Amino acid sequence: MDPKFPIKGGEFLVREISPEQIFIPEEFDEEQKMIGHSCQDFLEAEVLSNLDRIDAQEEGLIRELLHKTGELGLLAISIPEEYGGFGQSLVTAMYACEVLGAGYSYAVAYSCHTGIGTLPILYYGNEEQKQKYIPKLATGEWVGAYCLTEPGAGSDANAGKTKAVLSDDGKYYLLNGQKMWITNAGFADVFTVFAKIDNDRVLSAFIVERTFPGLVFNPEEKKMGIKGSSTRQIFFNDCQVPVENLLGKRGEGFRIALNILHMGRIKLGANVIGAAKLAINHTVQYANERKQFNCLISEFGAIKYKLAEQVIRTFVTESAVYRASKDLDDAIQFYIDHGEDKGRDTMEAFNQFAIECAVMKVFGSEMLDYVVDEAVQVHGGMGFSSEMPVERGYRDSRINRIFEGTNEINKLLVVDTVLKRGAKGEIPLMDEAQKILDEIPGLKNGGSSSKNYFEIKKSYLSNFKKLALVLLKAVSDKFSRTLIHEQEILNNISDIIMLIYAGESTMLRIQKAESIVGEETSKIQRDILDVFIYDATSRIRKLAQDTIHSFAYGEILDILLKGLDHYLRVDGVNVRDARRNIADMLISENHYCF
């Protein structure tokens, strides 16, 4: 790869990153803020005021809302101008996803349409296909959907049984099979459908219109949450798909599916931020109204802990999502500048950042589950009542750990991709790890000698990376090709990697923000970082200990435990005061203000 490539996916484990290299929300320009305001105004006027109607799946309502979204241009943010869009950056599209992510079931329909419903055609379609479909999808005249999952093919997508056979006259592919959990299925006009041609071992992709003969739709699924989202099974009974509607090349479907899922994962990371901020607003506003023992419950330390922790996890996720988004924007531009096919080059950038996309999906969905769970808890019995919005938020959140590939699959993907890139020499993973292993026996006790706040935090994170690297090498040496079967170990290391990326992203954000707003203004942000790094250290210690004791014996056990003790040495933090500072600001402002 060209040495001028800005940064490779997963390279954060072995490369020093400066604050200047990342994007932070404090840098949104006026145009981006205007788009955010448009999204918020639409959400309040059209979505949040109609949640019961949406959840009841009132006929045509979601479809009408998507059309109105299209009239505002919010379906076309990242679509090129030649197809009726605005050609905005991924960062801008992610900001729209964040704001509209507070829209419960509507947010699911929006994300499906603008992501997996539209982008396969935009990035892999030929010019005729793009001209035919993208302008209509950009305006909301047509709605898109994505058909990959089957009853026997969920996480193992390539195990799908749907078949495509060329008709006798050579004009059509005849599709036969079944797809399930299809979002927007009740009203979508265009479907990207994955099937195997003849006896191919890998999938191909097809553009299927709702009016094509041979499509049968099951009734709406009854779901725990996102009740307003249309979800149906679709049956293909000799469905006639014109041969010109083959999307991409024959056998390219699996690659299309994977790369589109990378994109969907990072967008989910943005969606959950908006949902989390809304849940925090509901939580603090209730805490500022509810009295017990003759005082507001927001005055209680136990409640302040919950409020602060909601803020910390949301702020950290936000920091990581926009860092990854900027890296992706840079990678997209690099690939386009050095490639020949803009669509495929864009998707190659997402493939390059498969690790970060998976991290954002897992970290973000787990963050939102925590936030909505504590929102219900702060509401007490009222939180269990459907009269309160936190009840809907709690139910709707749960799907995110399953969407876009389960969190378990994504955790395995993180470590597997890191190791594969190390083996290929794309990241100097094993060389760096061996250097660290060699230095461990001679390590001496002693903490950071720096007095600079960010240098200290940077040294902590650098040590966390060293520990992750030696664990990756040690387990690779121990298990070699059988490592894929050690899923408990892989999950532990994946969690460590995610904590490192999140913590470093937050540190870089605050460091950059201080250069904009000054240290005094960002004092609360330092409290957020202090608590997160301190807590992450304990979590990493447990994860690393569990990993080490699961496989290591003798000399390597002693080396790893010594490294663990050295690399996880951090100064204590008054977490009570730090969390109270964070909670007091939230309580004072009565809404998320970080």
DSSP for residue 47: I
Q: Assess whether pLDDT exceeds 70 at residue 449.
A: no
Q: What is the mean pLDDT of residues 374-396?
A: 96
- Asked whether residue 8 is domain-assigned, the answer is no
- Are residues 397 and 273 located together in one domain of the fold? yes
User: How many CB atoms are closer than 10 A to CB 582?
Assistant: 25
- Are residues 213 and 278 located together in one domain of the fold? no
DSSP for residue 448: -
Q: What is the mean pLDDT of residues 175-196?
A: 97
CA distances from 58 to 42, 229, 434, 514 (A): 19, 11, 61, 48
DSSP for residue 43: I
Please report the pLDDT score of residue 158 as a whole number. Answer: 82
Tell me the per-residue pLDDT of 256-277, one tens digit each, with 9 for 90 and over.
998 999 999 999 999 999 999 9
Q: Assess whether pLDDT exceeds 60 at residue 1.
A: no
| Greatest extent of the chain over all pairs of C-alpha atoms, in Å | 81
Going by C-beta distance under 8 Å and a sequence separation of 6 or more, which residues neighbour residue 296?
Answer: 287, 288, 289, 290
Tell me the per-residue pLDDT of 70-117, one tens digit each, with 9 for 90 and over.
999 999 999 999 999 999 999 999 999 999 999 999 999 999 999 999
Please report the pLDDT score of residue 153 as a whole number. Answer: 86
Domain boundary residue, one of 143, 172, 205: 143
Tell me the per-residue pLDDT of 526-567, one tens digit each, with 9 for 90 and over.
999 999 999 999 999 999 999 999 999 999 999 999 999 999
- Are residues 280 and 403 located together in one domain of the fold? yes
CB 160 within 8 A of CB 194: yes
- Asked whether residue 504 is domain-assigned, the answer is yes
CATH of the domain at 309: 1.20.140.10
Confidence of residue 236 (pLDDT cuts 50, 70, 90): very high
How far is the C-alpha of 228 from the C-alpha of 43, rounded, in Å?
Answer: 15
- Asked whether residue 16 is domain-assigned, the answer is no
- Are residues 444 and 580 located together in one domain of the fold? yes
Domain boundary residue, one of 376, 409, 442: 409
Average pLDDT of the chain to the nearest whole number:
95
- Are residues 530 and 579 located together in one domain of the fold? yes
Residue type, 109: A
- Asked whether residue 20 is domain-assigned, the answer is no
Q: Is 514 a catalytic residue?
A: no
- Asked whether residue 4 is domain-assigned, the answer is no
- Are residues 351 and 435 located together in one domain of the fold? no
Tell me the per-residue pLDDT of 300-323, one tens digit each, with 9 for 90 and over.
999 999 999 999 999 999 999 999
CB 126 within 8 A of CB 286: no
- Asked whether residue 31 is domain-assigned, the answer is yes
Please report the pLDDT score of residue 446 as a whole number. Answer: 63
Q: What is the mean pLDDT of residues 334-359?
A: 93
CB 353 within 8 A of CB 327: yes
Q: In the chain, pLDDT over 70 holds for what percent of residues? A: 99
Phi and psi angles of residue 573, each rounded to the nearest 5 degrees, phi first = -130, 135
Going by C-beta distance under 8 Å and a sequence separation of 6 or more, which residues neighbour residue 363?
Answer: 269, 317, 320, 498, 501, 502
Q: Assess whether pLDDT exceeds 70 at residue 447.
A: no
Q: What 3 state SS string does 143-208 have?
A: CEEEECCECCECCCHHHCCCEEEECCCCCEEEEEEEEEEEECCCCCCEEEEEEEECCCCCCEEEEE
CB 363 within 8 A of CB 317: yes
538-541 long-range contacts, CB within 8 A, separation 24+: 539/495, 539/499, 540/464, 540/467, 540/496, 540/499, 540/568, 541/568
To the nearest 10°, report the CA torsion of 586, 591, 592, 594.
-60
- Are residues 373 and 306 located together in one domain of the fold? yes
Better-scored residue on pLDDT, 516 or 454: 454
- Per the structure block, which two tokens stand in for 153? 């093919």
- Are residues 236 and 367 located together in one domain of the fold? no
| pTM for the model | 0.95
Show the domain range for 198.
Answer: 146-247
How far is the C-alpha of 375 from the C-alpha of 306, rounded, in Å?
Answer: 8
Q: Assess whether pLDDT exceeds 80 at residue 487.
A: yes
Domain boundary residue, one of 143, 161, 187: 143
- Per the structure block, which two tokens stand in for 489? 């170990």
Domain count, the chain: 4
Residue bearing tokens 């990854």: 324
Q: Assess whether pLDDT exceeds 80 at residue 520.
A: no
Tell me the per-residue pLDDT of 403-438, one tens digit each, with 9 for 90 and over.
999 999 999 999 999 999 999 999 999 999 999 999
Confidence of residue 444 (pLDDT cuts 50, 70, 90): confident
CA distances from 219 to 54, 182, 213, 216, 587 (A): 17, 12, 19, 10, 45
Tell me the per-residue pLDDT of 11-60, one tens digit each, with 9 for 90 and over.
999 999 999 999 999 999 999 999 999 999 999 999 999 999 999 999 99
Confidence of residue 189 (pLDDT cuts 50, 70, 90): very high
- Looking from the CA of 317 toward its CB, the CA atoms found within 13 Å total 34
Residue bearing tokens 């790890």: 433
Query: 301-338 and 90-100 helices cross at what angle (nearest 10)?
Result: 150
Within 221-353, residue ranges assigned H as helices are 253-287, 301-338, 342-352
Please report the pLDDT score of residue 156 as a whole number. Answer: 83
- Are residues 553 and 457 located together in one domain of the fold? yes
How far is the C-alpha of 332 from the C-alpha of 355, rounded, in Å?
Answer: 16
How far is the C-alpha of 162 from the C-alpha of 178, rounded, in Å?
Answer: 6
- Asked whether residue 100 is domain-assigned, the answer is yes
- Are residues 242 and 264 located together in one domain of the fold? no
- Are residues 221 and 348 located together in one domain of the fold? no
Tell me the per-residue pLDDT of 122-164, one tens digit each, with 9 for 90 and over.
999 999 999 999 999 999 999 999 999 999 887 888 888 999 9
Within 339-452, residue ranges assigned H as helices are 342-352, 354-379, 389-397, 407-423, 429-439
Angle, vertex CA 100, rays to CA 99 and CA 102, nearest 5: 85
CATH of the domain at 103: 1.10.540.10
Residue bearing tokens 């957020």: 528
CATH of the domain at 229: 2.40.110.10
How far is the C-alpha of 498 from the C-alpha of 506, rounded, in Å?
Answer: 12
CB 181 within 8 A of CB 151: no
Confidence of residue 3 (pLDDT cuts 50, 70, 90): low
- Are residues 455 and 558 located together in one domain of the fold? yes
- Asked whether residue 14 is domain-assigned, the answer is no
User: Which one of the listed residues 98, 356, 366, 404 is annotated catalytic?
Assistant: 404
